[in-house]
Amino acid sequence: MMVANRKPKAALYLRVSTEEQKKEGFSLGAQEEILKGYCVSKGYEVFEIYNDGGYSGKDFNRPDMQRLLRDSRDHKFDIVLAIAVDRISRSNLDVLTFVDRELHPRGQKLVISTCDIDSSTETGKMFISLLGTFAEYERRLIVGRVKKGMEKRASEGLTNGGRTLGYDSVDGKLVVNAEEAAIVKEIFELRAEGKGFKTIATMLNKKGKKTKGTKTKPGSSFSINAVKTILVNEKYTGSMS
């Protein structure tokens, strides 16, 4: 609840995913500058800047979004300010739930600077919902294009990234790493003998075996989950279609 003669406190929310960082105009610095300028024009006080750089907008599982939600529940600000609805989420359901179940019951609102709309009016909420629908549609298109690209690379015998114990990526193709392949073989042989995931992990760790590492980060000890993941990996089981 706002107090008379007090400047509304705004929580500035910034987000870019890894891919969006490559696009001009989506930088965190640009978002912050735009939102601070908007606060000056509207007479808002900047309460805090919440920055989720490198996180996807597919859900709310982001560190600073969770921090923002905690501060909202403690009534620390009046407004959540973002440059676009898709900065909050690319799921329209999540956006509307955020507005209806988190902000509005506490007398708070969502404001979108580039459109100069807020969720406290029926018109503003309608446009926020509409923009959220477009953001969700755009995300589905992106996911579809990425999936097709990955399928095309796979059909050409190329890897789609990631690190796989027993293989090295050379010019986009998987090449067997003999030393690591021996570990994978041992894991499958131990499982065939009836050994459990925990037992296999313990035996490998006692021998000093490690998971897949990189040039800058060495492999780690085997966990139960690491063993289980290897045993169901399609690259090893040969069930890839």
Token representation of residue 150: 């990955």
- Gap between the Cα atoms of 77 and 74, Å rounded: 9
Q: Whose CA is closest to 11, among 34, 30, 33, 39?
A: 39
The DSSP secondary-structure symbol of 64 reads: H
Locate tokens 């298109």: which residue? 141
Active site residue 17: yes
* Phi and psi at residue 109, to the nearest 5°: -150, 160
Q: Hey, CA dihedral for 120, 123, 124, 129, is it positive or negative?
A: positive
- Gap between the Cα atoms of 9 and 78, Å rounded: 5
Is residue 168 within 8 Å of 175, Cβ to Cβ? yes
Is residue 83 within 8 Å of 35, Cβ to Cβ? yes
Token representation of residue 49: 């800047």
* Residues acting as catalytic residues: 17
